[in-house]
C-alpha cells in the first residue's frame, strides 16, 4: 500500500503502527510527488495498481489523475501494470478560478485511462465526468464494475437486545457515527435533540468519531460551530463527544444504541460507511431520503411493523440499481430497514426520534431488517469481487501480450 506521509503520521499518532507493507512515498499528492510515486511503483513491479480515489483525500489536486498516463510512458505495454480506479466520489478537483465545466476533465481523464473503473453505487454512473466521456464516445461498458464499499466497523460481540427495557425508557441513547463535517447534518441533529428533550429529558446523544478529518479544511470551522450550538441550546449535559475510538469501542457504542441517527444533508447512499456500519450492527436507523427520492410513505402515518424474516440473512431486493453481475442493489425502504426523514428538517427528525423511542417493537423490526440488508455488503463478498476483477485484467493482459 502506498500512501502519504501525513496519513501515516496520523495513524501513528492514533496508536496504530504501520504494517511493513505500507510505504509512505509522497508528501502532498502534487505534481512534484508523481516522479517518486512512479519510481516506487516501477521498483515494486506489481501486476495491478489499484487507486482508491476520493477527490478531497488527494488535497483537491488534479495530479493523481495523470498517474495512469505516467505509468504508460515509463513502462513497456507488456510490463505495464494494469490500472484500476475505484471512485469513492467523482467531485472535480481544483484547477484555477472560474474553471467551470473544465474542472471535470481530470476525473474524466482518470476514468478514460484506467484499465478498469469501479463504482461503488449505480447512481455514480450519471456523474458529470462520466457523462463527459459518453459525450465524446469514450467507451466505459467493457471496463466498468460495480463493487460496493463495506462497513468500516464490524460487530465485535452479538448485539444485546434491550428494546422496551427500563434502560431504553429511562435513559434513551442516540448515537451518531462519523466525522462531523457539513454534509453530515449534525447541526440538524442537535436542533432536533433540543426538541426531543421536551418529551425525553434524560435522552443522551453520543457523537462517535475522531476529530474533524483531514480531507476538507472547512471541517474545523464546522466543528467549532457545533460546539457553540451545543452551548446555545443548553445541551452540554446531553451530548458526549468521544474523540478517536478503536473499532471495538465504536462497535460497543453502536450495539448499545437505542437509535443511530445519521441526518445526511445530501441524503443517505451506499457510499456512507457509517450507514453500512450501523446496518451491520443491526441498529434501528433514522437517516435522510436518498437524493431525488420522495418519501415512501407519509411520515405522519407510519407503516405497519414488518414481520421477523424467516431467514435473517436473506436479502429482499428492490429496483435501486444493478450490481456487477446484473443483480440488484438493495434499497433504503422507509419503515422497513431504515426510518427516512427529509434533510435539514429538525422538526421532522425530532418527531421520528420521539416516535421510535416510544415504540420498542418497531425499533426491533428495523434492527432485524438492517442486519438482513447488511449481508449484501460483507467484506468477504467485496474481496471476492476484487480478486475476480484482478484475475480478469491479468488474463486479458497476458492474452494481449502473447
d(CA 67, CA 63): 7
Same domain assignment for residues 368 and 387: no
Q: Decide the pairing of beta strands 2-4 and 204-208.
A: unpaired
CB 30, CB 66: distance < 8 Å: no
pLDDT above 90 (res 100): no
What total of structural domains would you count in the chain? 2
pLDDT above 90 (res 336): yes
Same domain assignment for residues 37 and 171: no
- Residues comprising the chain, all counted: 402
d(CA 194, CA 152): 29
Same domain assignment for residues 117 and 17: yes
pLDDT above 50 (res 353): yes
Q: Residue 327 gets which letter from DSSP?
A: P
H helices present in 104-256, as ranges: 105-113, 128-135, 166-170, 186-196, 218-232, 247-256
Same domain assignment for residues 39 and 178: no
H helices present in 233-283, as ranges: 247-256, 273-280
Domain span at residue 91 reads 2-150+381-401
Same domain assignment for residues 245 and 197: yes
Q: What is the tens place of the pLDDT at every residue in 271-308?
A: 899 999 999 999 999 999 976 554 433 333 444 444 33
Quickly state the pLDDT bin for 311 (edges 50, 70, 90). Answer: very low
What is the overall mean pLDDT for the chain?
A: 84
d(CA 307, CA 320): 23
| pTM of the predicted model as reported, rounded to 2 decimal places | 0.74
d(CA 369, CA 367): 5
| pLDDT value of position 315 | 28
Look at residue 207 and give its three-state secondary structure: strand
| pLDDT value of position 158 | 61
Same domain assignment for residues 372 and 387: no
Same domain assignment for residues 82 and 191: no
Least confident of 19-33, 131-145, 160-174: 160-174
**Inside any domain, residue 161:** no
d(CA 215, CA 245): 19
pLDDT above 70 (res 358): yes
| pLDDT value of position 360 | 95
Q: What are phi and psi of 121, to 5 degrees?
A: -140, 150
pLDDT above 70 (res 322): no
d(CA 388, CA 14): 34
| pLDDT value of position 313 | 27
**Inside any domain, residue 304:** yes
Same domain assignment for residues 10 and 60: yes
Amino acid at each position: 500500500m502506498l500512501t502519504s506521509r501525513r496519513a501515516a503520521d496520523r495513524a501513528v499518532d492514533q496508536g496504530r503502527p504501520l504494517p511493513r507493507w505500507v510505504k509512505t512515498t509522497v508528501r502532498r499528492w502534487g505534481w512534484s510527488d508523481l516522479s517518486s510515486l512512479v519510481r516506487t511503483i516501477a521498483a515494486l513491479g506489481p501486476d495491478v495498481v489499484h487507486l482508491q480515489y476520493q477527490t478531497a483525500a488527494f488535497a483537491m489536486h488534479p495530479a493523481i489523475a495523470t498517474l495512469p498516463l505516467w505509468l504508460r510512458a515509463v513502462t513497456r505495454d507488456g510490463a505495464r501494470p494494469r490500472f484500476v480506479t475505484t471512485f469513492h466520489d467523482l467531485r472535480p478537483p481544483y484547477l484555477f478560478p472560474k474553471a467551470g465545466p473544465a474542472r471535470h476533465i481530470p476525473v474524466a481523464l482518470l476514468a478514460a485511462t484506467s484499465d478498469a473503473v469501479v463504482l461503488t453505487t449505480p447512481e455514480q454512473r450519471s456523474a458529470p465526468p462520466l457523462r463527459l466521456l459518453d459525450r465524446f464516445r469514450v467507451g466505459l461498458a467493457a471496463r466498468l464494475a460495480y463493487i460496493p464499499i463495506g462497513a468500516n466497523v464490524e460487530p465485535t460481540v452479538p448485539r444485546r437486545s434491550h428494546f422496551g427495557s427500563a434502560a431504553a425508557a429511562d435513559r434513551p441513547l442516540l448515537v451518531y457515527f462519523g466525522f462531523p463535517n457539513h454534509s453530515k447534518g449534525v447541526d440538524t441533529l442537535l436542533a432536533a435533540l433540543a426538541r426531543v428533550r421536551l418529551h425525553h429529558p434524560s435522552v443522551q446523544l453520543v457523537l462517535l468519531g475522531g476529530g474533524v478529518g483531514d480531507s476538507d479544511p472547512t471541517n474545523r470551522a464546522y466543528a467549532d460551530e457545533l460546539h457553540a450550538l451545543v452551548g446555545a441550546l443548553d445541551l452540554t449535559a446531553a451530548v458526549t463527544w468521544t474523540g478517536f475510538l478503536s473499532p471495538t469501542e465504536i462497535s460497543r457504542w453502536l450495539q448499545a444504541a437505542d437509535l443511530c441517527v445519521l441526518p445526511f444533508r445530501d441524503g443517505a447512499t451506499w457510499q456512507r460507511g457509517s450507514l453500512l456500519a450501523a446496518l451491520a450492527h443491526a441498529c434501528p436507523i433514522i437517516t435522510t431520503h436518498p437524493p431525488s427520492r420522495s418519501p415512501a410513505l407519509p411520515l405522519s402515518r407510519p407503516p405497519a411493523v414488518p414481520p421477523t424474516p424467516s431467514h435473517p440473512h436473506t436479502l429482499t431486493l428492490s429496483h435501486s440499481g444493478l450490481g456487477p453481475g446484473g443483480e440488484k442493489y438493495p434499497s433504503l425502504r422507509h419503515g422497513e430497514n431504515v426510518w427516512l426523514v427529509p434533510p435539514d428538517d429538525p422538526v421532522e427528525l425530532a418527531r421520528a426520534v420521539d416516535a421510535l423511542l416510544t415504540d420498542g417493537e418497531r425499533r426491533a423490526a428495523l434492527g432485524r431488517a438492517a442486519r438482513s440488508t447488511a449481508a449484501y455488503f460483507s467484506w468477504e463478498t467485496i474481496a471476492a469481487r476484487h480478486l475476480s476483477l484482478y484475475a480478469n485484467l491479468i488474463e486479458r493482459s497476458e492474452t494481449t501480450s502473447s
